[in-house]
Each structure stands twice: as C-alpha cells, then as structure tokens.
Structure 1
C-alpha cells in the first residue's frame, strides 16, 4: 500500500478517457499510469523492509488517488536526491526514450537524431538522452517558447514545426539517421522522406490523431527500418528490458545527469485542469498532480 504524493500525467490518460488506449482497464478505474509515494504497508510474502521507502511506481492505473495498492515488483526505490514530483514524472517519459534510442534503435555517437514533438513529455527526454548518448540532435516543435525548452534540454538545432518544407530543411542539414516520432501525421511524412539510407524510424505515438500509412516500397529502396515501441508492453513479455533501462536512468539521475522538466504542478482537486493542459498542448515536458505533502 502506497501513500501517494504525486502522479505524472501522460497522453495515454487522455486516450483512456475515450477508451482508445491499447491497455484501457475495464471501467470503473482510476486514471494515472505513474506515481510516487511512500510504502505504508506490504502484503504477505513481500519484503517488510520496504515499509517506509519512497518509491516510483509504474502502475498502469490508480495514480490519481491519495492511496493505492500495487504489485511490489512495480515499485522502484527512488534515488535520495529525487523529489516526489520528479519521480512521478520520470519513468514513462525517460523509460520510453531510453528503451527506444538504446535498445530499439541502437543510436550511435555522431549520428543525427531527429525528434518530433521535442517539447512534449517524451520528446524532451529523447532530446536529453540522445544528447547524452553523443548524437547530434535536431528538435522539431511548435513555436519559439517550446523550441527554447528543447534547446535548453540539449538540442543542437531547432526547427519550428510550422515551416513550409520541413523535409527540405532536414535534408539540408544532412538528413536524419534516427527519427523519434510521437506525433505522426504530416510531421512523420516529412521526416520519413528526409531519413537517410539505413536509417531507423521510431514510432512512439500519434498525438496528432493522424496515424500515417508507410509505403513499404520506400522502406526497401532506402533500407529504412520502422520500429514500433509500446514501453509498457515489455512489462508483460520481457520486463528485464524495463528494469535494466530504469537502473541506468536512475543512476544517471543520481549522478546529476538528467533533469526532468515539469511545466505544471497542480493539486488533486484540479486534476481536470491538469488533463486539459495536456489536451490543449499548453504544457511542455510533464504535468504532475500532487496529493499528500511529504512529512
């Protein structure tokens, strides 16, 4: 049983409300994929020394509450220098980007990484992790304010998503070796055409609502690989991918190598406003809902 201090919101929460997420629970359920808090009690067979530990939890549901009961293997002890808000904002965004770039795309130092939606919850972490892995990072986002956030996260080059010919701008910069796409739609189509031979495209999500159709003949002509990633899915069939990744990420955080960006922090009674920030795309990085204040 966890006394919940904070819950990080994700685009998946909006899809769950509509019943369109691939892992939408049966109703009734409580929103909130990821959370942080303090373990207050453990069930039979669990390690009693965990009581009192501060943990980050990838729960899949139940985060927008004051208390919750979760499987013990979903609870990861937080680094001592990590706040509850940072822990609640950490696992899905950083985990998605690290597994995508390292495990799936095998991003190499010196390659060019193109991040679409670079100021969003996962996009911003892709910029930060890609830079840490030694890539040259091109960030695409809408508007000067969002591009400034991406630049501060480490982007080498920033391009406004509203430019007339995104494809030509990317090609003029040498093209992309790896594309990280959580947006879909026209941005995906432009990036696809600017991907270098032997490039890898990571299909992370389709926040635009437009799921692009990929011409297979173009894939074979340019030797391009399209790699789908549903981060939470590994929990069911290969959990070691997630646990190994999270161990690396928490180590980087403890060393001061990662800086979660939280643009908004609202109390539980304003959770509807917090969700609206995601829906209207007025947030950058993560939106966090807070419950109990730590003692």
Structure 2
C-alpha cells in the first residue's frame, strides 16, 4: 500500500468507504461497515444534527430562509450562493453514502412533501421546479429516498435541447446547451438509473447528453475548438454543481463502467490535463473554493492536497490507462 493510499484511508468515513470500495476493492462487508459510520461519525453525523424539526435544512429548499433569501438574490447583483439549504444538504448526504433509511425513518421525505416549497413560485418540493440543474439534484435525491420523482424525470427528458444537452437558462430564452447544466442533468439521470432503472427515453437522453460533452472533448467549443472557459480547468471540491473537466471525466468513467463501455478516445485531452495537474507525490491540490456560506468545511484549504480530488483523479487515470 502506498503512502498516498494510506493518506486517503485516514479520512472521514464519507470518503474512506469509497477508497475501500473503488480504489482497493476490499470485501463488501468492509466498505459497507465503513459506510454505515457516515450516520454516526464525522461529516454525515454533523450534517444530520443540523436538520430542522420540519425536515428541512436552514429553513429553505434551495436557499436558506426560503423565499426571503430568494428575494434578496433577485434584488442584488449576484450575491454569493449559500450552500446550506435542504437541496444542498441532501446532495452532500447522498454523495457521502448515507443510508437513505436514516432519513426515511425520521419521515424526512414526507416532511419535505408537506413543509418544503421551492422559492420559485412556491412549488411543491418533490414536484421540482423549472431549473433543470435543480431538478436533476432533486431527481437523484428523490430516487435515493424512495420518492416517486417520475414527473421530474419526464420534465428533464422533455426539456432536452435540439443539440442533445440542457441549459438552465431555457426560461430566459437559451436555445443551446451548456456544459454546466448538461453535466448536472447527466449526473442526476445516471444516479436515478442506477437506483430505479430508468426507461428507454431517459437512457436515450443520457446518451445524447454524453455525446454533447464528448463531441467537445469536455472542454472546447465545437465551433472554434477554443477552450470553453478557464473555469473548466479548476480543481475543486465540493463542486456545488459547478463544472470542471475532472468532474465531467469522472462522470464519463462512472457511466461507461455502468454501461459496460470502453473509454472514449475523445477524452484524451481532458485526461492528460488531469494527469498534468497531479503532483509529484501522487496527489491533486484544491486550487479553488466557491464563495458562499457552508455548514462546515469538508476539504482542505486552497493550495493543499485534497483527498477527494486525489481519489477522483487516481480512479480516472487507472481506468484510462487500463483501457
């Protein structure tokens, strides 16, 4: 076992179980025992303790304080997005591997159906709203918690753009897809399919969305070949739904493994960019942190080696180099 692997294992249960399962291929009983600790130790236990009595976090669906903060955001110029409300907290717990039974046992799905409304038009929580990224997060969270979110699935599939992807700005008149929105929807569709099974229409939507990203090498404009934006090269965790080539390539790796497909050669430049960012000790550093309030930090300060990014980068290169 290398020093880097030992360092990765010396982490919160939310990450450690993924190291045990995905990197070390340890027996299922081992990583499942570690994953069960997410509910009682570390990040998972801390976030569970912050849940409101009505099932929400920070008193809102997407923004803390619900409609009050939404009105502030509309009135100001791009205020920093807080990451503490219900949707973001559920995303974190799901990605950390919390057993959904923990939240089902305290009636969280039912409480959210009764007491949580979207800041947009006061819509019911499990019905979703108009933003495809928000709907993608809710699709995955609902599937995880055993909620019927087929209405959101249908909305996402029907909201696909002519070029095969998605754009959260469709309400404002956008007619072409965005890297950012497409990746969020793909993540939600894959998570839903893995848990629930999906259907032919959903799988076809995921296929065209993947093609949208792959045709652009995960990072370039198809029309000019230019880098889409500098932020695609950032290495950051947590992503808070933001796009990066590492996050996109990690999605493609997971999707290909689920679908039983070989690595797509159009990933080559993105993978080599990830490889070039690896430090001499085999780690990847966190080079960016999104502004905005969080309950607590779950990664290292900017400039230091991140165990989350290192696991993702290591798994990506092992998968790619083994093709």
TM-score > 0.5, shorter chain as reference: no
Which protein has greater RCO, CA pairs closer than 8 Å, 6+ apart?
1
User: Normalising by structure 1, what TM-score?
Assistant: 0.31
User: Normalising by structure 2, what TM-score?
Assistant: 0.29
Between Structure 1 and Structure 2, the one with more strand by share is 1
